[in-house]
Structure 1
């Protein structure tokens, strides 16, 4: 079973819930936790786990054979990321950091002067503690597409999944491409939110996305005793999504968080609701 822990708004406690749930489930199961927030991976910090380098993540980039190049500028015309700059009568100028590896420039080149090359855009890591394994990805600074790292991370998870009873995927905040990539293939998603106007607004966005992806959704309401609970109830009713757990604003959670200790106290309701 694949369970996603997600949420439109950042800072709602998504990773806190994901790590706590993974840690609790690992008492009786072999659990694989996937930290798919590759721009800001921190699950290993919350679990006090040391990361071991697994492999680099590569992306295709173009390489020009200047002896063949006729300086026509077609490669620049089709480049949607503006990573190829063309000045008349000069060879193309390639801005590698902006390239997303689409390959359009290679297709349109009339003299086949562009071939495939590669660049390293990130890394994958593995951590182990008892029955719990954590894999995480980390994009290199300046690279434009973190969803490529997420895709590589999920491929790595697929290689390992036969050894585990369940997989938890901790997505990035938001509803953009890296989140969509992380969510695809999940059996159910937990949307972690808070009772604030921003929390309700972004909860609606993520629930709408989950509906499009046809992934069943449940809601975890963090800091439930502050703010306006009715805002979340209204969104939950609109999307027919149950609030399966409520977590109060608790100083002990903050202390455990700062010490790298998972919060297990409120996970049983989630496990019961998901029948894990």
Structure 2
């Protein structure tokens, strides 16, 4: 089974549109496909596919630290160990856990020599599935509103999608990431076979393409470029950056009013490139 990521440093360049059209193309080529929406803070693939999210098929949990004050000696080891700077401790005071910064790695309760920190399980997200049509499934991850660190949610959504793919003997699993190069995007990219980086022929598109290609290079994920709305700007900057990273513009998609209309109505499956 191939694991392909559809990503892009800049938001609004048509990443989800490309992911859906690519998935549909593979299905029409008699492939079994899963599209996994890893933009867990703002998933929208189901809207573009004209789907509704019913009851979640699975919940995502993470373990956060809880202090047992009667055991704590205020040694400060937990605060020194935390790489997320999620533990604040004033001199002579008990440590304070800042959940918004916590990555739920568990290092603090592992290193505590007094057993003064215990893990506390909390729901951080939900997973939904939709059968879009024959041989085409959508897996949607959705983080709990207000959750700052969503990388672990993406990791769990990916695990679910891959198990689902194995069970249904899927040929290709596509992961549609959030925009940017932060932790949730890294989580989606890890251990994938190929990344298609979607961009546009604008200065912002070129700048962010450089960032996402650099990230793919660091993660050792082969990357190719898809240039959306290719006829609306100067594509030479995009080609220059692609050449810098020894890749190429795999496909150019021209501006299409019909595509915009299909997008706005949530009927992308009716459109053919």
Does the 8 A contact of 1:98 with 1:143 survive in 2? Answer: no
Of 126, 133, 138, which residue of structure 1 is paired with 2:137? Answer: 133
Does the 8 A contact of 2:101 with 2:149 survive in 1? Answer: no
Q: Is 1:113 aligned with 2:109?
A: no
Q: What's 1:103 paired with?
A: 106
* Cα RMSD for the two superposed structures: 2.1
In structure 1, C-alpha distance between the alignment counterparts of 2:68 and 2:239, rounded to whole Å: 60
In structure 1, C-alpha distance between the alignment counterparts of 2:201 and 2:188, rounded to whole Å: 25
Q: Is 1:246 aligned with 2:248?
A: no
Does the 8 A contact of 2:202 with 2:234 survive in 1? Answer: yes
Q: What's 1:22 paired with?
A: 23
Does the 8 A contact of 1:49 with 1:128 survive in 2? Answer: no
In structure 1, C-alpha distance between the alignment counterparts of 2:58 and 2:188, rounded to whole Å: 19
Does the 8 A contact of 2:9 with 2:180 survive in 1? Answer: yes
Q: What's 1:49 paired with?
A: 51
**1:19-68 Cα distance to aligned partner (Å, 9 max, x none):** 11112322322210011111211000011122241222111112233332
Q: 1:172 to 1:54 in 2, by over 3 A?
A: same
Q: How does 1:162-181 map to 2 (within 5 A)?
A: 162=166, 163=168, 164-181=170-187
Does the 8 A contact of 1:3 with 1:189 survive in 2? Answer: yes
Q: 1:203 to 1:86 in 2, by over 3 A?
A: closer
Q: 1:250 to 1:67 in 2, by over 3 A?
A: same
Q: 1:33 to 1:80 in 2, by over 3 A?
A: same
Deviation at 1:161, TM superposition (A): 1.7
Which sections of structure 1, spanning at least 5 residues, go unmatched? 267-276
Deviation at 1:150, TM superposition (A): 0.9
Q: Tell me the secondary structure at the aligned position of residue 231 of structure 2.
A: coil
Query: How many residues are treated as equivalent by the alignment?
Result: 266
Q: What's 1:270 paired with?
A: none
Q: Is 1:150 aligned with 2:154?
A: yes
Deviation at 1:90, TM superposition (A): 5.2
Which sections of structure 2, spanning at least 5 residues, go unmatched? none
| Structure 1 stretch displaced more, 40-49 or 21-30 | 21-30
| Structure 1 stretch displaced more, 45-54 or 233-242 | 233-242
In structure 2, C-alpha distance between the alignment counterparts of 1:209 and 1:93, rounded to whole Å: 33
TM-score by length of 1: 0.88
Q: What's 1:260 paired with?
A: 266
**1:85-123 Cα distance to aligned partner (Å, 9 max, x none):** 445665444443432223233234332122222111111
**1:147-193 Cα distance to aligned partner (Å, 9 max, x none):** 10110011102211222121111111122222122112222221111
Deviation at 1:203, TM superposition (A): 1.2
Q: Tell me the secondary structure at the aligned position of residue 185 of structure 2.
A: helix
